[in-house]
Amino acid sequence: MQKLDALNIKIFADGADIAGIREMAEESYIKGFTTNPTLMRKAGISDYKKFAMEALSAVGNRPISFEVFADDFPTMETQALEIASWGKNVNVKIPITNTKGESSAALVGRLSKQGVACNVTAMFTAAQIEEIMEVLSPETPAILSIFAGRISDTGVDPMPIMKFAVETAKSYPKVDVLWASPREILNLFQAEEAGCGIITATNDMLKKISLFGKDLTQFSLETVAMFYNDAKAAGYTIDTQENEPSIKKVHYAA
């Protein structure tokens, strides 16, 4: 098993819970942070800028992404410029399209030329990658957030699209390809294999890092013990009277 410190990929903590952000900020292996409006809503955030200022204070000088939330491009641009002004380590998340399916490439191009570090999010296709690469300024950092996890949810292997993105971005040294929406720790090593610069992960997923290198025989034994101890704690018994088998106590888990 590869050791965490041997990986080239940067791990960004993904979330909007301030306590969780502070917790992850204590970990040296966390190289950046990402948020989005959905995570913020789930965390009960009502004041966008207040949350952003608290998050910025928690993460120090590490990069953090905040997303625009307008659906028309002029307002997106206004929001992007305001968000970018919050700190030199701020990346502005711009969705690849608005809700009408209209491309945000022109907006990304204008912002990139103004020196705004864009994190282009919700990307799924090679066509989207090519379109964005054509408008980026080579002098301005950018992130391409490709939702590998959601691609795999459709039954499609995300590795070819991730490798295509990495290859396409090679001529732009300031562009990072980000493996978004991972589903399991294995995705960390897949993202490394694909050559991605960044992978995001929630706090719950990051806690599984403690399992790196765990002996599988020992893990198997612990799992068997868990089943045994839970059955014992539940008080399960089986009446073994001949021809009259019955389970005296059964609980069905949802």
Query: From CA 15, how far away is CA 19, in angstroms rounded?
Result: 10
Catalytic residue among 3, 10, 50, 93: 93
With CA atoms as reference, report the closest residue to 164 among 132, 200, 201: 132
> Which of helix, strand or coil describes residue 92?
strand
CA distance 111 to 82: 12
Distance CA 59, CA 61 (A): 6
Rounded distance between C-alpha atoms, residue 61 and residue 90, angstroms: 9
Strand partners, 179: 146, 199
93 noted as active-site residue: yes
CA torsion, points 127, 141, 195, 20, in degrees to nearest 10? -110
Cβ neighbors of 113 (< 8 A, separation 6 or more) are 137, 140
Amino acid at residue number 187: N
Would you name the residues annotated as active-site residues? 93
